[in-house]
Chains A and B, each alone.
Chain A
Amino acid sequence: MLRFTVRRLLQAVPTLFVLSILVFAWLRLLPGGPATALLGDKATPERVAAMNEVLGLDDPLYVQYFGFLGRILTGDFGNSLITGDPVMEEVSWAFPATLELSVAAMFLAVLFGIPMGYIAARFRGRFLDNATVVTTLVGVAVPVFFLGFLLKYIFTQEMSLLPPSGRQDVLIDATRVTGIATLDGLLTGEFDATWDAMLHLILPAVALASIPFAVIVRITRASVLDVQGEDFVRTANSKGLTTQIVRKRHVLRNALLPVSTTIGLQTGLLMSGAVLTEKVFAWGGLGTLLEQAIQQRDYPRLQGLILLFATVFVLVNLLVDLSYAIIDPRVRVR
């Protein structure tokens, strides 16, 4: 297991290394170079030249790259053009919000997705199964942000049941501990803050959950169908175990293996979806930072965020591989 872990870790390093080169090159692909892009409307030839000198853009490329690499390894992603604050500071401030939203969405997707997929497989070919399959296909076809709009329109504009946007009512002056609004209220004993944060969380989490939900349902269904046909299930049945025990111990347990990998692999989609959902609900997480950066062409912030998202994605995939190796020892040998 240790050898597998080390090998898998070493595989992630070159990926991240090349990624850093690409992100470094990316900023230099900008029309007119980074200095022109950073100055925006204020770009004059003199200012561009001055900026080039400040940024060290006159140095040879490899000097620039290693300077860049050294800075990002120490967590220095430069300053945002919009606020002037260090990108790293902005990111660590916004990260808990995105984490909260993503975890809530994944929780909903797993909570409803696995039972629905299992039920669909149990009633294969019947109405319940067909209805589930069609639902998941529609779920994939609906743009996340449109679903967000729809939910917002129904539950806030028409029914006024839930708050339309933000993470917490402005009137609630909650203490920030972890930055995860629902958790902070519990930690400080401000239960009204937690309740309010939960209400704000429902709609965005449901919208974001739609994609992983559809995928989890389909994988669970396919996986249960696969396992049901295995010889060991037939053996378990024929040796007289009750149907319930066969289903629980033999079918479900084995069927959940591929599902657990899928959950990890959904992180990428979840991050993409979070960007869109956060815009609809003015969530104020990483997605909001990214969206502002796009609007204002804030390249240092954009660069930092892309690198961060990619790193998280690579690390999550690494964790998925490792957890898979723990569950299924055969993987370690390959």
Chain B
Amino acid sequence: MSILSTRKADKIDSLAEGGTSLAMDALRRTFRSPVAILGLVIVGLFVILAIISPFVAPKDPYRPYPELKAELTPSNIPGPMPGFLLGSDQNGYDFFSRLLVGAQQTLFVGVFATLIGVTIGMIIGGLAGAFGGWVDSLLMRLTDIMLSIPSLLLAISIAALMPGSQWTVIIAVAMIGVPVFARLLRGAMMAQRSSDHVLAATALGVKRRTIVFRHMLPNSIGPVIVQATLTLATAIIDAAALSFLGLGDSDWRRAEWGLMLGNAQELLSVKPSLAFFPAIAIIVVALGFTLLGESMRESLDPKNRR
């Protein structure tokens, strides 16, 4: 088939479909770009690894092994040995198994930190966008204040108040996202308020609650989803930063990449791979979510709609 006739076929297809919504169109365009597919593959593999890792890990990641412990000294951490692909970590645990299982814990921290941030942010932003007026002013001043503290310091000041546990990290990191999601949803809803279809619905006498939930929210959710994807990447990095500063999970046995990286910082001269492998895992996963989020953002932008 020549190029010309393919184009024609495309044209006919699009005519047959009639109008497509921006969302559907954006989704289609997103997965035509190689960058988005790369992001999706990385994220997909990461999620699969997170699910299956406890079953495929060759050794128990939460148990020290005597054969590793035997060779463990402050200045020597055993490297690869038969049965232990990457050797030992600083506590005589199987490093490879911990690295695999780390996917699960890391995903857990990232997903919950993002979900909590999105939920609280959307409640604040949704209320501001739905009511407007003084509710809006009050809530937006609140988010302004949250935004006036540099993000990591906000997380630090929350984490410093609580005992070092995994949930402390999750909540502290979640708070970074709250003002961002609140502003984003509020902005999108404000734009909807003055749009023709909302005006039409109001004129028809549709109840405000229905307008908000059926018309304004669904049309405002796109940027929030994009931002959530990007936030997953930064949440994982921020959690690692908290661990690095000594504000992470105090349970050092937990196999989570950020925690493993934070705890390996003193051992760079002994066994650098203890820091490098978790770090590379974090970078790849963060890159995956960023690529996916950025390409979704690009295709949601009506300027790119052709």
Taking beta carbons and an 8 Å cutoff, which residues of A are in contact with B? 14-15, 18-19, 22, 26, 29-31, 137-138, 140-146, 149, 152-153, 157, 267-269, 271-273, 275-276, 279, 290-291, 294-295, 297, 302, 306, 309-310, 313-314, 317
- CB neighbors of A among B70-115 (8 A): none
Q: How far is the CA of A309 from the CA of B156 in the complex (A)?
A: 12
- CB neighbors of A among B114-158 (8 A): 141, 144-145, 148-153, 156-157
Q: A137-B294, A142-B283, A149-B265 are in contact. List 13 more A-B contacts (CB 8 A).
A: A15-B141, A26-B161, A141-B282, A141-B284, A141-B286, A143-B241, A145-B241, A146-B261, A146-B279, A294-B246, A302-B157, A306-B149, A310-B150
A156 to chain B, nearest CB (A): 10
Q: How far is the CA of A108 from the CA of B57 in the complex (A)?
A: 44
Partner of A294, one of B141, B160, B284: B160
A87 to chain B, nearest CB (A): 15
Q: Which residues of B contact A19 (CB under 8 A)?
A: 145, 148-149
The stretch of B11-19, B182-190, B204-212, B267-275 in contact with A is B267-275
Partner of B290, one of A30, A137, A273, A302: A137
Partner of B275, one of A14, A137, A146, A314: A146
Chain A proximity mask over B265-306: 1 for CB below 8 Å, otherwise 0: 100110010010001001110110011001000000000000
> Nearest B residue to A134 by beta-carbon distance?
B35
> Nearest A residue to B237 by beta-carbon distance?
A143
**Residue contact B148 to A272, C-beta cutoff 8 Å:** no
Given A276-B245, A291-B245, A268–B150 Cβ distance below 8 Å? yes
Partner of A276, one of B152, B261, B294: B152
Q: How far is the CA of A144 from the CA of B157 in the complex (A)?
A: 20
| Interface: B68 (CB within 8 A) | no
**Residue contact B157 to A306, C-beta cutoff 8 Å:** yes
Q: Which residues of A contact B237 (CB under 8 A)?
A: 141, 143
| Interface: B244 (CB within 8 A) | yes
**Residue contact B151 to A272, C-beta cutoff 8 Å:** yes
Q: Which residues of B contact A143 (CB under 8 A)?
A: 237, 240-241, 244, 261, 279, 282-283
Q: How far is the CA of A295 from the CA of B261 in the complex (A)?
A: 18
| Interface: B233 (CB within 8 A) | yes
| Interface: B235 (CB within 8 A) | no
Given A14-B141, A153-B272, A272–B161 Cβ distance below 8 Å? no
Q: Which residues of A contact B282 (CB under 8 A)?
A: 141, 143, 146
24 A-B pairs with C-beta separation under 8 A: A14-B141, A15-B145, A18-B145, A22-B145, A30-B161, A141-B282, A141-B290, A143-B241, A144-B241, A146-B261, A146-B275, A149-B265, A149-B275, A271-B150, A271-B152, A272-B151, A276-B241, A276-B245, A279-B244, A295-B246, A302-B157, A306-B157, A309-B149, A313-B149
**Residue contact B241 to A153, C-beta cutoff 8 Å:** no
